[in-house]
Structure formats: C-alpha cells, structure tokens
Amino acid sequence: MFTRHKITVIGAGATGATTAHLLALKELGDIVLVDVAEGIPQGKALDMWESCPIEGLSIKVLGSNDYEPTANSDILVVTAGMPRKPGMSRDDLLKVNADIVYQVVEKAAKLSPDSVIVVLTNPADVMAYVAQKASGFPHHRVIGQAGVLDSARFRTFLAEALNVAPKDVTAFVMGGHGDDMVPLVRYSYVGGIPVEKLLPKDTLDAIVQRTRTGGGEVLGLMKQSAFYAPGSSLAEMVKAVLNDERRVIPAICYLNGEYGEQDIYVGVPSILGGRGVEKVLEVDFTGDEAQQFKKSVASVRKPLSMLQY
C-alpha cells in the first residue's frame, strides 16, 4: 500500500508558512503546520489546502496547536522561535530560542521517533545542537539549515557581478551562520570556470562581505528576517532527505573529528539522503581558509558554552 510522506513544520510565522507552501507546491507529502497561536496554523493550512485544486495537487495540509496530528512524521522542520529584530544579533536570540526549540523538539520527537529533524531557528548552529539534545536522535538525523541559504546568497551576488544565470554558479559557504561565515571563493565556479579568473579580487572581497551580512541586509530593508530564500533552502533539504537524493549540500552538521573539530554543529559540505547526513565532506584549506574556519567555529562555541546541554 502506497503511503505519502508526512512532513511537520513547527512554527507558522512567515518562514514556517512559506516553507510549508513551498513543500506543498513540490508535492513532497502531507503537511502538518504547528504553532502556539490559536487559529493561525489552522487558517494558513486551510488556505494552502484550498489552493491544491488550482495547483493540481493531491496532498493534505493541516494546521494544529498541539502535536498529536504530527505523529509518525518522516521529517520535522523547526522554524519556531523569536524572530531577529533590527539591532539584534543572532546571539541575542540564544536563550529564549534555545528554550523554545528544546520544548517543541522534545514534544515532536517523541511522536515521530524515526524522523529526521531540520532546524532553521537562529542561531541555527547552536539550535541544531539543542535539537539533538532534546530529541536524543543520532547526530546524523539532526541537521541545521544555513549553508544552503548562505551559499544561495553568495551564488546570487556572484551571478549579479558576472551577469549570468544564478543557477549556473556553483559555490558554497562554510562555518557558522553569522558574520564569521566562510564563503570559499577558491571553490566557486560559473559554468565550470573559476570565478577568480573572471572577477577582480576587490569585487570578490566585496561579494564575500555582502554574503556574510546578507541576512542583515534583508532585515534592514524590510525590518524583519528573510523568509523566501530560507523557505526555499529548507524545501531543498527536505526534498533531498525524503527522496534519498544524496545531494551534495552545505548544511549544519555534527562534527566528530572532521576538520579537527569535536562535539559541535557547524556548516560544512555534506551528502544529504534518506538517513539525513550520509557523510560530511572534507575539503582542503589554504592556511588563511583554515584560520577563517577556526575563527568561525569559535564564534559558534562561545554562545554554545552559555547553555547547559
């Protein structure tokens, strides 16, 4: 008997709702949208579900304030938390969002013990660690979303400078999801051609800096955190896991000796498939890149050390 995948999205704010809508449009499975706000997840889910006949979709979208309808989900997407406001760093969100993430993941994981968890809530590196502790899941089944988003911004800005289609640019970002992230210019290409051959160093340096502050740029313009690109990033990761695609995707993964780091979640290239993180890929660094990555990892460890997990 054929059974559709079941996806739970926790948090029905702008990012959660956008993610749920994108997942519905991709027809990846039935969706449960959960939020503490009465009527909000129910209303947004109903609105999405009513679009299904128009879009030619066969899935079901359900909204709920409790977790019972989420039971036996294949994947849990965590977007719940306080959004970042102008003037607020990701670290300012740390304690309040850690409490939120721990509580929602603990509830959802008990009902879906075989699921894979994808965490977006900021600071995403730390929240992935919190989610793993709350769930008790193997590390490979808890993943943070940041690398896809940061890399997409990097690729977009490179495409703009080169005046080419963004889809033809391949590039990735490593390290923490913050101002110390490491966009790797040396591994960036357009149509197989190294971007270093096509753009001057000062242009590339400016693009790297814009990538590092990409979230803040959106925040400053519309006075709230981004949600379209984050939603697309989550949908890409969910699709890779549910369809066992073994996609090479930059994601926040647990390191157990890779890159000389232990007991930390941080952004690295990875293979995502049906088990979650199938493998962490290690790339060679120059001395400067290694130093930048070490600095970025340290910026993740600092807030992590403030939590008792």
Annotated binding site: 11-16, 35, 84, 90, 97, 120-122, 153
Cα-only R_g, the chain: 19
- Residue partners of 87: CB distance under 8 A and separation at least 6: none
Beta bridge partners of 117: 76, 142
Write the Ramachandran bin of 159: left for phi over 0, alpha for psi from -120 to 50, otherwise beta: alpha
User: 294 by DSSP, 3-state: which?
Assistant: helix
The Cα–Cα gap between 115 and 113 comes to 6
The Cα–Cα gap between 73 and 205 comes to 43
Q: Is the dihedral of CA 273, 279, 280, 285 positive or negative?
A: negative
Instruction: Indicate the annotated binding residues for substrate.
Output: 84, 90, 122, 153
DSSP H stretches of helix in the chain? 14-25, 40-55, 94-111, 124-135, 147-162, 201-212, 214-222, 228-242, 287-304
- How remote is the C-alpha of 255 from its chain's centroid? 17
Query: In angstroms, how far is the first alpha carbon of the chain from the final one?
Result: 41
Q: Catalytic: 177?
A: yes
Q: What angle do CA 247, 204, 219 make, to 5 degrees?
A: 75
Residue identified by tokens 């007991």 is: 263
Of these residues, 5, 21, 140, 177, which one is catalytic? 177
Question: Two tokens at 274?
Answer: 């049906």
Instruction: Indicate the annotated binding residues for NAD(+).
Output: 11-16, 35, 97, 120-122
Q: Which residues are catalytic?
A: 177
